[in-house]
Amino acid sequence: MDYALSRGIARLLPGRETALRWAAVAAAAVLAGPMAAALDPPPARADTGAPESSTPSVFEPPWRAPGSPAPEGGEAALAADTEGDLVRELDAYRAEIHGDFSVAVVELESGAAFGYRSEEPFTPGSVVKLDVLTILLLQAQAEGRPLDEAERSLAKAAIGYSDNDAADGLFKRIGMYVGFQEGRDRLGLTSAGDRLGGRWGLASTTARERLTLLRAIYAGEGPMAAEYRETARGFLSAVAPEQAWGVSAADRGGGAELKNGWVPVESDGGRWAVNSTGRIVADDGRTYLVAVLSSGHPGYGSGVECTEHVAETVVGALAADIARQAPRGPVGSA
């Protein structure tokens, strides 16, 4: 039996709770589809019948300029066999599914980072709502004030429930495209060039770009003061349960903080782009930032399945490799 199919069946077996979860997810997808479809997607990938070959792609952490020296203490580098095995596993999965994906992951303590096709553009869907919120927080910080009640209400709806009208309201408050680009410059995000556009600022995004934004919120480096980063985290930790799929599959404690996105792409024959980005704590007790972008799925559910499988696969491989290189006691020990 096909791996994705057998895994999907296994996940549906637990019963009523799982069935209700997927019913809610499907309903949310249907309601969000018409509005999200207004986003301007990148050109569809040509369907060649087989995926392009991949090469190992462990990358320099995206918050550091290429070629700059490593911080004191160094960084964990994936063992060559781990890197090669992981790329081959992802290549095989990509060849098996009806869809496409990319991923970027970093473990915050060691700095170990891995990317697979992390520079490839994908339709962002609602993950770009986190950019808009982050830029709004930067603007409030510059004005020396917290978010007002109206802004908090819009942010809660845009992030927690992925409400498109609320995201429109936030986008207007940051100054539309001019404010969006100014905010990106402050965050140190590289120029998106012709990727700028769409409903909320970006017509496409990359896994590396998503990881850079997460780093601004979670790593304490960059222009955001601690209280504003905590505000962002508060919204990311309060996502509606039916929208809390994806990278949370690699979380051990049910405390994932995330923003997902999903949209049927007209230029790709109505196939689904499904993305998941956020912070998780894995079985090893370490904190990981994870971004999985995907496209070309025949349905919403298969896209969710893809993001979860890829997140679990990569985080598991990094955790095992870090444990071999930097062993430490059980979770919770000193």
3-state secondary structure of 93: helix
Residue 143 CA neighbour count, 13 Å, CB half = 11
Tell me the per-residue pLDDT of 122-131, one tens digit each, with 9 for 90 and over. Answer: 999 999 999 9
Rounded Cα distance, 189 and 209, in Å: 7
Least confident of 15-29, 104-118, 152-166, 168-182: 15-29
Tell me the per-residue pLDDT of 42-97, one tens digit each, with 9 for 90 and over. Answer: 333 333 343 454 544 444 544 444 444 444 434 557 888 889 999 999 999 999 99
Tell me the per-residue pLDDT of 261-284, one tens digit each, with 9 for 90 and over. Answer: 999 999 999 999 999 999 999 999
pLDDT higher than threshold 90 for residue 250: yes
Rounded Cα distance, 270 and 29, in Å: 13
Q: Do residues 206 and 119 make contact, with C-beta atoms less than 8 angstroms apart?
A: yes
Tell the burial category of 10 from Cβ atoms under 10 Å away from its Cβ (0-12, 13-18, 19+). Answer: exposed
Rounded Cα distance, 293 and 296, in Å: 11
Count, residues in the chain: 334
Q: Which of 95, 98, 28, 7 has its CA nearest to residue 260? A: 28
Tell me the per-residue pLDDT of 183-199, one tens digit each, with 9 for 90 and over. Answer: 988 988 866 666 788 88
- The count of other CB atoms within 10 Å of the CB of residue 172 is 12
Q: Which residue has the tokens 């309060």?
A: 238
Q: Which segments of the chain does DSSP mark as H helices, in order?
A: 3-12, 16-36, 80-96, 129-142, 149-155, 164-173, 176-187, 207-218, 226-236, 300-325
- The count of other CB atoms within 10 Å of the CB of residue 137 is 26
In this structure, which topology does domain 3-325 adopt according to CATH? Beta-lactamase (3.40.710)
pLDDT higher than threshold 70 for residue 169: yes
Longest pairwise C-alpha distance within the chain: 58
